[in-house]
Amino acid sequence: MFRAFRRHWKEAVTGIRRHWAMSISACFAITLTLALMSVLLLIILNLSQITMDLQDEVKVFVKIDNAVAESDISQIQNRIYAIDGVSEVEYSSKDNELDKLEQEFGESGKMFEIYRENNPLSRAFIVSVNQGYSIADISSKVALIDGVTEANFGGATTERYIEGLSKIRNGGAIVILALTALAIFLVSNTIKITIYAREEETAIMRFVGATNGYIRGPFLLEGIFLGILGSIIPIILTIFGYDAFYNMMGGKLITGILQLLPVFPFVGYLSGALVGMGIIVGFVGSLISVNRNLRWKR
């Protein structure tokens, strides 16, 4: 089996060398496709991370009625926990709310210390929501609970922003699938041309008893090899391009909340994915073309 693989590999390299112009054409198609895929994956994966960060940051702020006794707080908390999609309910006393207010204003926040004895702020719950659940729906359900005076999460704009990021991410995934199909089509047509150029060679192999699987082997290895070669330039561009972009943006997008994925190990994983995509595109493109041209059965 090893001897057969070595022979197939040797024939694949020979085929690439003899038909170098068509091999370069196929390799260029893979390179261009993987480069576009890399850009889209960088955008999609960072948007995915940003969306998750936003969902973690956006919480429902729940004000508790001042008339509610301290002993009834846990009962309200349990009712909020019972709402489907709620992951965490954190209680914040009046003193805690005053501390947060002082921290928001920095040094000038000390002026609020005069309200420590007669604190006018409300007790509150900070509610976290599981991913995939509508924070607006949960907020409206929390607001209906007896003892709750207000449930606020930042408004519909925040939810629309998260939904918009998700739509962009899903749209990018569809484009990647379309690019993969296009690359397979281009590679398939290029390999088909090389098969036509070697019809006499394959006819001789059939005549001496070679099976379709044996004839198919070198072409499949050729497609895999072209896929690996085609991934080299996109990988280099991905590593150095993303590193430069990350440093230029200071590791964040617009605000500190929207953090970009760290360069390492992210580009390492993405580089591995690009090699895998190149191999899949080259292999499937070659397989489609070879099967289309080896129609007769033994």
Assess whether pLDDT exceeds 70 at residue 295. no
Select the highest-mean-pLDDT range: 8-17, 59-68, 131-140, 208-217: 59-68
| Distance (Å) of CA 58 to CA 81, 136, 157, 182 | 17, 11, 12, 39
The tens digit of pLDDT for each residue in 220-255 reads 888 899 889 999 999 999 999 999 999 998 888 766
Estimate to the nearest angstrom the gap between the alpha carbon of 85 and the chain centroid: 23
Question: CB atoms < 10 A from the CB of 17, how many?
Answer: 9
pLDDT category, 198, cuts 50, 70, 90?
A: low
Angle (CA) 274 286 215, round 5°: 135
What are the structure tokens assigned to 202, written together?
């394959």
Q: Which residue has the tokens 């926990």?
A: 81
| C-alpha span between 229 and 35 (Å, rounded) | 13
Gap between the Cα atoms of 22 and 16, Å rounded: 8
Q: Which of 93-102, 164-173, 192-201 has the lowest mean pLDDT?
A: 192-201
Say yes or no to pLDDT of 13 above 50: yes
User: What's the pLDDT band for 297 if we cut at 50, 70, 90?
Assistant: very low
pLDDT above 80: residue 98: yes
Residue 107's pLDDT band, with cuts at 50, 70 and 90, is confident
Domain ranges of the chain: 2-54+160-293, 59-153
**Most confident region among 121-130, 153-162, 249-258 by mean pLDDT:** 121-130
Residue range 59-153 forms a domain whose CATH class is alpha beta
**Which H helix or E strand runs over 129?**
strand 124-129
> What per-residue confidence (pLDDT) applies to 156?
61
What is the per-residue pLDDT for 216?
Answer: 83
Compute the average pLDDT of residues 91-111. 89
Average pLDDT, the chain: 84
Neighbouring-strand partners of residue 128: 88
Pick the most confident of 3-12, 96-105, 172-181, 267-276. Answer: 267-276
Inform me whether the pLDDT recorded for 150 exceeds 80.
Answer: yes
| % of residues, the chain, pLDDT over 70 | 88
Largest pairwise CA distance in the chain: 100
pLDDT over 80 (residue 16): no
Inform me whether the pLDDT recorded for 78 exceeds 90: yes
